[in-house]
Amino acid sequence: MVTKGMRIGKYELGRTLGEGNSAKVKFAKDTVSGESFAVKIIDKTRITRLNVSFQIKREIRTLKVLNHPNIVRLHEVLASKTKIYMVLECVTGGDLFDRIVSKGKLPETEGRKLFQQLIDGISYCHNKGVFHRDLKLENLLLDAKGHIKITDFGLSALPQHFREDGLLHTTCGSPNYVAPEVLANNGYNGAASDIWSCGVILYVILTGCLPFDDTNLAVLCRKIFKGDPPIPRWISPGAKTMIKRMLDPNPVTRITIVGIKTSDWFKQDYTPSNCNDEDDVTSIQEDIFEMKGSEEEKRPYSPTVINAFQLIGMSSFLDLSGFFEKEKVSERQIRFTSDRLVKDLLEKIEIIIKEMGFLVQKKHTKLKAIQEENIQKGQSGLSVTAEVFAISTSLNVVELIRNSHGDSFLYKQLCERLLNELGTTSQVQKLLT
């Protein structure tokens, strides 16, 4: 166990700055130069047990080729029989997440300055063939001058990780920041997906809240696929346009780094970061893990750390209905899961709606059921929207929204029948009680 005052090479270790599942970060001082550093101490046994060795190797290999003022710098890597020591630039200002949580949204001028630094750093990465894939507020540190420092490249992709189609295929990232094409699982462009994440970050910087958020994963995914987050009125037209173009659900038409940098809004008070692109990293040892080849290279389709998206991908043999709401969202909104195919599900919903005397309007995966006003029975018209959201090939979510008051008994009957005939076998039958 590392204790205060212990020396690793020429570095004297001090207080603990942070700690995670497989590593801890300690403050360190170079006993020769007196410079301050942050040393990430990684336990080899623990990362082998957690099967995340390839992530550590990837982070080291990535940081070896990056030298930019807006990216946390890797200075040296040392190793013992049991531990790996990554000597990193010491960044003392905390992360951007804590900054927003404690002080709220930033003024547009200040927010744009941080955004410019973020884009400078990501542009540099992309030019080096590095795609971060986990950009979020927590991975943006602030130095003593308040400048952005991008960190945590454990999920980054290099050119050798692209498949023959020229796309990346690993579903990774943090739910609120991940691009829709990553969720679609059909391959994606690493640059475009990073730009989406930067768009989410810009939105949070200027509004103090996430553009896409929900405690229910299915609803969150639907919001991400739809795009078009609400833009507060205080956001300037230039910033609003930038956010909308970055959060374009279509990666083909989404704005590029070049487009961002040439926009009038971005160029206001812009001073490009000076890049010293000399590779001066020393003592990097490729055999520090005592492994032959990357675990990811051996098993490119087997995720090591299971996250929510990977669980969805496993749903052909895992019942995921427990991950989604099976209760009323409100008096006018109900959702449930179904294991039927989307096409069959829509056809069956239409049949049930028509059998119950509703008129039907269809648009893509959405159906609108309308029952006209019945003056003789003193009943006002009832309108219900049914929408199907595909989570995977074997799991869909059906959402019912009552658009008008109408016949509450008929609405309950409709919901009950749809749930009984279309819901998953594990669905709890207390939805309407």
Q: Is 134 a catalytic residue?
A: yes
Q: How many Cβ atoms are within 10 Å of 382's Cβ, its own excluded? A: 22
| 36 DSSP β-pair partners | 29
Question: What distance in Å separates the CA atoms of residue 64 and residue 433, rounded to the nearest whole number?
Answer: 59
Burial class (CB in 10 A: 0-12, 13-18, 19+), 287: exposed
Q: Give residue for tokens 């669905």.
A: 427
Radius of gyration for the alpha carbons in the chain, expressed in angstroms and rounded = 26
With b for 16 or more beta-carbon neighbours within 10 A and e for fewer, the 371-381 pattern comes to beeeeeeebee
Choose among 380, 362, 364, 363: nearest CA to 372. Answer: 380
Beta-strand ranges (E) seen in 115-165 are 140-142, 148-150
- Give the amino acid at 306: I
- Catalytic member of 95, 120, 134, 339: 134
- Give the amino acid at 252: V
| 377 annotated to a ligand binding site | no
Question: What distance in Å separates the CA atoms of residue 414 and residue 410, rounded to the nearest whole number?
Answer: 6
Q: Does an H or E element contain 245, and which?
A: helix 237-246
Choose among 310, 326, 347: nearest CA to 415. Answer: 326
- What residues form the annotated binding site for ATP? 40
Binding annotation: 40
Residues designated catalytic: 134
